[in-house]
Chain A
Amino acid sequence: MKKLFVILCLITFAVAFKSINDELFYIPKNFPQPVYDFTNNPLSKEKVELGKTLFYDPILSKDNTISCSSCHLSYTAFTHTDHDLSHGIENRIGTRNAPSLANLAWSKIFMWDGAVHHLDMQALAPISNHDEMDETIANVVFKLQQSKKYRKLFYAAFNDSLITGEHTLKSISQFMLTLVSANSKYDKVMRKEANISFNEYEAKGYELFKTNCASCHKEPLFTNNEFENNGLEPDKFLNDGGRIKITKKAEDSLKFKVPSLRNVELSYPYMHDGRFKSLQMVLFHYTESVYQSPTLSHQLKNKMVLSENDKINIIAFLRTLTDEEFLQNKKFQPNQY
């Protein structure tokens, strides 16, 4: 009887904690609680595996040529390095720069203008965007249903080989949720691990960063999850108003989501339209070329003054946000079949 009781207790315990699966996802010591509600989509090994397979499979695009990873590559923090505007099927060029993907469980809202309000719904946008994958979710599900491999994978994940949009999107989310980047030098310094500390330049850069940048690029995620106007002069060809597209409010004109700066060393070119090729150019922008407009964020209304050495130090600090373990993590890369 006692044995039974113990077993029952263990089961309840396991069920309560099952929604967050440690092996697949963890909350780093220096991070807040995630935003994503795992109880609606509890992680499992099989679902993450299915999500990863989908992420790397061009079956999601109309002509079966483009996968999510075409624009979001693991080695470059899941962005499309060296392309200012992302490229989709038939070489059509999109209107925005692909952001890096990491720590998505902590994001409240997605896309440069916040067009997508939930991670589960994210994949619908590239799948159906004419310039990206130009496909419909209904047809993706149809194609998946024809595939023996996917019927097996869906069965393993959901105990149901009938493929649905819900299950497809939930598993893509699951894979993206596992992309936690929290082992950069910065994190190790913050967690006081193994006597790791900033060098002189990085330490100076960190202080400058806290004064000039951290109100928007807030630690430890390096974004405040808000929309801000950081003074980019509007591009006359793209004519992208950012957040105003979604809210239709004048006060949101030229505001874009503050991007995380994790792995920023690798995610060039920078900004929503990829206009800057290097971090030097980004810092030149913040000190010399801030474009005045009514919605400019208040922190940037006064000229930012940084010496050339200050800039070098800030860049040294930004490089401490590179997380080699994340970039090289085999779990995030496609399986070798």
Chain B
Amino acid sequence: MERSIYIFKKALLFIALIFSSKMLQAQDSKSFQLNFEPIFNNQVLVLNDSFYHIDNNDSVRFSKLKFYISSIKFYNNNKLVFAEKNSYHLVDASNSKTLYININKPFGTKFNSIKFNLGIDSITNVKGVLGGELDPTKGMYWTWHSGYINFKLEGTSNLCNTRNSVFEFHLGGFAAPYNCLQTIQLSLSNITTATVLVDVNKFLSQINLANTNAIMTPSKQAVELAKQATKMFIIK
């Protein structure tokens, strides 16, 4: 009897310990808010309805802007101080919830820049089917040629001599020599929040939509466009 009371006491102590350490953690951890704000030049980007002017009096309309942000890391003077675990986020302009990423990080970390991938790395790509943000139902997985689509931009423009004047950029591919994954590094001035503008014009202005309006496979051109896409990301 005495023995079982002893064990009971021990167990209670153990449970209490677990709880208190959890509470301490909760107090001690803070989060960083990373926001994305899709724009076109200086205008807010609205899908489907709005027209945006591009060179030579033509206009474009967007129906989809969707991309993966992964492997978010914080640096202090180029020294890694914190890396988010299981860091995969699908940003979708049509779903405002996805534009705000909340990152839990240890309390008191100092940093002045952030680094993340635009897309999904090759190791993750070959892991087999994954869930959550990486679930194939999210529409960011190629079905006839395995691999994640890192970035999607779709819309219409009279410049495109295609069915319904549609343009579609699906950038992806994880195998050499057509690995599309890009890394973006941005300087931060604030340790609690950052807003990253995603200026679609920075991407489109380098493309002649009359000639280039459908990229749907891993290729040299997809890699070049993925590099171009990194220029869209600017700290507000």
* A residues adjacent to B (C-beta < 8 A): 37, 40-41, 115-121, 124-125, 127-129, 136-138, 141, 164-167, 169-170, 173, 246, 248
- The smallest C-beta distance from A244 to any residue of chain B, in angstroms, reads 13
Select A166's contact among B126, B130, B139, B146, beta carbons within 8 Å: B130
- CA of A300 to CA of B143 in the docked complex: distance in angstroms? 34
Chain B residues whose C-beta falls within 8 Å of the C-beta of A248 in the assembled complex:
178, 219
Q: Is there an interface contact between B128 and A41, defined as CB atoms closer than 8 Å? A: yes
- The smallest C-beta distance from B83 to any residue of chain A, in angstroms, reads 22
Closest CB pairs A-B (n = 3): A166-B131, A120-B129, A165-B137
- The smallest C-beta distance from A85 to any residue of chain B, in angstroms, reads 16
Q: Is there an interface contact between A137 and B137, defined as CB atoms closer than 8 Å? A: yes
Q: Is there an interface contact between A117 and B136, defined as CB atoms closer than 8 Å? A: no
Other 5 A-B pairs with CB < 8 A, given A40-B127, A124-B136:
A41-B128, A117-B146, A117-B147, A127-B143, A129-B144
- CA of A170 to CA of B127 in the docked complex: distance in angstroms? 12
Q: Is there an interface contact between B137 and A138, defined as CB atoms closer than 8 Å? A: yes
- CA of A127 to CA of B129 in the docked complex: distance in angstroms? 15
Q: Is there an interface contact between B128 and A124, defined as CB atoms closer than 8 Å? A: no
Q: Is there an interface contact between B135 and A165, defined as CB atoms closer than 8 Å? A: yes
Chain B residues whose C-beta falls within 8 Å of the C-beta of A167 in the assembled complex:
131
- Contact of A115 with B137 at beta-carbon distance under 8 Å, contacts A41-B128, A166-B130 already known: no
Select B139's contact among A129, A138, A170, beta carbons within 8 Å: A138
- CA of A76 to CA of B87 in the docked complex: distance in angstroms? 45
- Contact of A40 with B128 at beta-carbon distance under 8 Å, contacts A164-B135, A169-B136 already known: yes
- CA of A292 to CA of B129 in the docked complex: distance in angstroms? 40
- The smallest C-beta distance from A141 to any residue of chain B, in angstroms, reads 5
Chain A residues whose C-beta falls within 8 Å of the C-beta of B146 in the assembled complex:
115-118, 121
Q: Is there an interface contact between A166 and B143, defined as CB atoms closer than 8 Å? A: no
- CA of A164 to CA of B132 in the docked complex: distance in angstroms? 9
- The smallest C-beta distance from A126 to any residue of chain B, in angstroms, reads 9
* B residues adjacent to A (C-beta < 8 A): 126-132, 134-139, 141, 143-147, 178, 219
- Contact of A125 with B144 at beta-carbon distance under 8 Å, contacts A117-B126, A118-B126, A120-B129 already known: yes
Chain A residues whose C-beta falls within 8 Å of the C-beta of B137 in the assembled complex:
137-138, 141, 164-165
- Contact of A164 with B131 at beta-carbon distance under 8 Å, contacts A115-B146, A141-B137 already known: yes
Q: Is there an interface contact between B144 and A166, defined as CB atoms closer than 8 Å? A: no
Q: Is there an interface contact between B144 and A121, defined as CB atoms closer than 8 Å? A: no
Chain A residue nearest to B136 in the complex (CB): A165
Chain B residues whose C-beta falls within 8 Å of the C-beta of A137 in the assembled complex:
136-137, 143
Q: Is there an interface contact between A165 and B129, defined as CB atoms closer than 8 Å? A: yes
- CA of A136 to CA of B147 in the docked complex: distance in angstroms? 16
Q: Which of B126, B134, B143 has the most CB of A within 10 A?
A: B143
Chain A residues whose C-beta falls within 8 Å of the C-beta of B178 in the assembled complex:
248
Q: Is there an interface contact between A124 and B141, defined as CB atoms closer than 8 Å? A: yes
A-B contact pairs, 11 of them (CB 8 A): A41-B128, A119-B128, A121-B128, A121-B143, A124-B141, A137-B136, A138-B137, A164-B137, A165-B138, A170-B129, A246-B145
Chain B residue nearest to A249 in the complex (CB): B177
Chain A residues whose C-beta falls within 8 Å of the C-beta of B130 in the assembled complex:
166
Chain B residue nearest to A167 in the complex (CB): B131
Chain A residue nearest to B135 in the complex (CB): A165
Chain B residue nearest to A118 in the complex (CB): B128
Q: Is there an interface contact between B135 and A166, defined as CB atoms closer than 8 Å? A: yes
Chain B residues whose C-beta falls within 8 Å of the C-beta of A246 in the assembled complex:
145
- Contact of A129 with B135 at beta-carbon distance under 8 Å, contacts A120-B128, A121-B129, A166-B130 already known: no
- The smallest C-beta distance from B172 to any residue of chain A, in angstroms, reads 13
Q: Is there an interface contact between B143 and A169, defined as CB atoms closer than 8 Å? A: no
Chain A residues whose C-beta falls within 8 Å of the C-beta of B139 in the assembled complex:
136, 138
Chain B residues whose C-beta falls within 8 Å of the C-beta of A128 in the assembled complex:
143-144
Chain B residues whose C-beta falls within 8 Å of the C-beta of A129 in the assembled complex:
143-144
- The smallest C-beta distance from B182 to any residue of chain A, in angstroms, reads 20
Chain A residues whose C-beta falls within 8 Å of the C-beta of B143 in the assembled complex:
121, 124-125, 127-129, 137
Chain A residue nearest to B130 in the complex (CB): A166
- CA of A115 to CA of B127 in the docked complex: distance in angstroms? 16
Chain B residues whose C-beta falls within 8 Å of the C-beta of A169 in the assembled complex:
129, 136
Chain A residue nearest to B147 in the complex (CB): A117
Chain B residues whose C-beta falls within 8 Å of the C-beta of A124 in the assembled complex:
136, 141, 143
Chain A residues whose C-beta falls within 8 Å of the C-beta of B127 in the assembled complex:
40, 118
Chain B residues whose C-beta falls within 8 Å of the C-beta of A40 in the assembled complex:
127-128
- CA of A115 to CA of B143 in the docked complex: distance in angstroms? 9
Q: Is there an interface contact between A37 and B128, defined as CB atoms closer than 8 Å? A: yes
